Chains A and B, each alone.
Chain A
Amino acid sequence: MVIGRRWFWLIPLGLLPVPLLLNPYQQYVLNTALLYVPVGIGFNLVVGNLGLLAFSNVAYFGLGAYTSGIMMATLGAPWWLTIVPAAIVGGLAGSLASIPALRGVRLFYLAIMTLAFGELMRWTYIRWESLTGGSMGMAVPTAHLFGWALDSDARKFFVFLALVVVIVIGTDKLLRSRFGRAFQAIKDNEVAAAAMGIPTDRYIVLAFAWGGAVVGIGGAMFAISVGHLSPASFDMTELILQFAIIMVGGLGSLMGSIIGAVIITIAPQVFISFPGFAELVFGLLIILVILFLPRGLASLVARVHPMFVERYYRG
């Protein structure tokens, strides 16, 4: 094999010198695109791979962000120490959100119940003022990574890039194993999946937990990227944005989550100097993709070369 997946390493390596070319604002936008990669990956795992319409993604995102922010602000913890707790809280929230699905709730009913979970969390951020600063929000202190201050967007970029690479590789390994196949099998035919000896309930919890944990890490990245957390960041508009990432990128595609995060974050910025144009482009993009590429932009990339076709096995 001359060209293969091992060359994918060139992508993060090629990104390393990019901060030299960007102004601080552009760097901030690129960081935002990076932090939405895990957010999209976690969402896509449940909605795209497992096939369950769970719209509680913003809840994991917010919980991850607040976990990180509160640990830093009230406990004085360095940021790197908050990443794992943010993942754990996100993962637990994911497991909790899977309960209706385990009770057999599906489709719109599941969508509405999980949506309510997200709104309930937003209400909690507003009400629990002593911890979150209420609707005024809270300031997030400067992040530290093993004593190194992440006080510029360029510095955050390298850390974000490393985290994203780890999450992408981890999720890729998971998807190309019996876990990923079990998720797809449950999506396609739950009864047949159980007939193959797959304990479907356990796998549903696992997908929600892994998805929630990954999104929680995205939340921790968000906390230090914006430096200020307020409940308004975790509303329905945010959910629509996150849903657009996986729709435009490609449902059930890891590559789609990455492409979606980058396109949805950066495309509106290109038209930032024309007021109102960004929203127009955003809306048009979604309509065009749904009409002509129901499997998202990733399906377009998959046509370029077989190595871009996602497989659920190794060897």
Chain B
Amino acid sequence: MAEPPLLELRDVTVRFGGLVAVNAVSFRVERGEICALIGPNGAGKTSLFNAVSGNVVADEGSIRLNGQEISRLTPHEISALGARRTFQNGGLFPDLTALENVLVGLHTQVASGFFGLLFGGRSVVAERAATARARTLLALMDIAAIADRKVSALSGGQQRMVEIVRALATDPPLLLLDEPAVGLSPPARALLAGVIRRLARELGVGILLIEHAIELVMSVADRVIVLNEGRKVADAPPDAVRADRAVLEAYLGHG
């Protein structure tokens, strides 16, 4: 039997009262694939994202991660199954240091129990091992120097990197990035694009990316899904989407 797709959405609908935010959207994301989700404001991108991460419950349709239905699970259960997300702004824990933020990302992998911690033993070893791993991860992204600084004192670019390291700490098969380029300078964006590409190509992470920075989308995405008024209007490689009439209409209005 063939392996199920990493992420598969079938006819997903999300309603808020009378408003249909996402209307029967279906698509897949495969392992190692970078899939961008674009569309004008109010198109339903974030609602769709929230449905995948469990922050809103889809009213209809099915969402499968590695073949397992996740549309009724809570955010922490979905996260533990391997779909990690970043947030549009302020997803970090400002009172914690960069290192501690990454350690929170490792939460589900630190095998420390309440009583084990009180009386020493293996839980303490697990805690120390997690700290060592978090430091290694920060070093891999060249931000080891800021490990012990509170994230509220870091620049926007550094914060974004910490957030990505934190999301990746558990080696999740699926990464959901919600506008990662917002507020980043052009060099930081180029760095980010490189990181996203490496994650997909070298580590085989499937990436679903919401992004308004169109040059970033065009340079990294394997496939672009365009939403407009809750519906999927295009699902094609970047070059094809650029020429698509429905996409132009979505962005420029009906001509």
Contact = CB atoms under 8 A, between A and B. Distances in A.
A187 B55 CA distance: 18
Contact of A179 (B95, B96, B114, B131): B114
A179 B103 contact: no
A127 interface: no
A314 B104 contact: no
A208 to B, nearest CB: 14
Given A191-B87, A311-B97, 17 more contacts: A170-B118, A173-B117, A177-B112, A177-B127, A179-B114, A181-B100, A184-B96, A184-B100, A185-B96, A191-B55, A191-B75, A194-B79, A195-B79, A196-B104, A197-B80, A198-B104, A311-B100
B90 interface: yes
Interface centre among A174, A187, A197, A206 (most CB of B within 10 A): A197
Contacts of A176: 127
**What are the nearest 7 A-B pairs in CB distance?**
A315-B128, A188-B93, A315-B131, A197-B108, A197-B79, A194-B75, A197-B80
B188 interface: no
Given A173-B118, A192-B87, A206-B114, A185 B128 contact: no
Interface string B84-97: 11010011111111
Interface of B: 53, 55, 74-76, 79-80, 84-85, 87, 90-97, 99-100, 103-108, 110, 112, 114, 117-118, 123-124, 127-128, 130-132, 134, 166, 170
Q: Which of B55, B100, B132 has the most CB of A within 10 A?
A: B100
B153 to A, nearest CB: 14
Given A174-B117, A187-B95, A196-B166, A315 B76 contact: no
B127 A315 contact: yes
A94 to B, nearest CB: 15
Given A188-B93, A196-B166, A198-B76, A182 B107 contact: yes
A196 B105 contact: yes
Given A181-B96, A197-B76, A189 B103 contact: no
A197 B54 CA distance: 11
14 contacts: A177-B110, A177-B123, A181-B100, A184-B100, A185-B93, A192-B91, A193-B93, A195-B55, A196-B76, A196-B105, A198-B107, A314-B128, A314-B131, A315-B131
Q: Is the interface of B mostly helix, strand, loop or mixed?
A: helix
B118 A192 contact: no
A193 B104 contact: yes
A252 B90 CA distance: 21
A312 B76 contact: no
A55 B74 CA distance: 29
A178 interface: yes
Nearest to B118: A170
A27 to B, nearest CB: 30
Contacts, number: 112
B103 A313 contact: yes
A177 B111 CA distance: 10
B117 A179 contact: yes
B94 to A, nearest CB: 6
Interface string A38-64: 000000000000000000000000000
A199 interface: yes
Contact of B93 (A179, A192, A197, A199): A192
A195 B114 CA distance: 22
A135 interface: no
B236 to A, nearest CB: 30
A197 B97 CA distance: 19
Contact of B103 (A170, A178, A193): A178
A142 interface: no
A192 B79 contact: no
B102 to A, nearest CB: 10
B114 to A, nearest CB: 7
B79 to A, nearest CB: 4
B154 to A, nearest CB: 14
B90 A189 contact: yes
A200 interface: yes
A189 B90 CA distance: 9
Interface in A28-86: none
B117 A177 contact: yes
Contacts of A173: 117-118, 124
Contacts of B74: 194, 199
Nearest to B87: A192
Contacts of A311: 97, 100
Contact of A197 (B96, B103, B107, B128): B107
A23 B99 CA distance: 48
A209 B93 CA distance: 24
A227 to B, nearest CB: 31
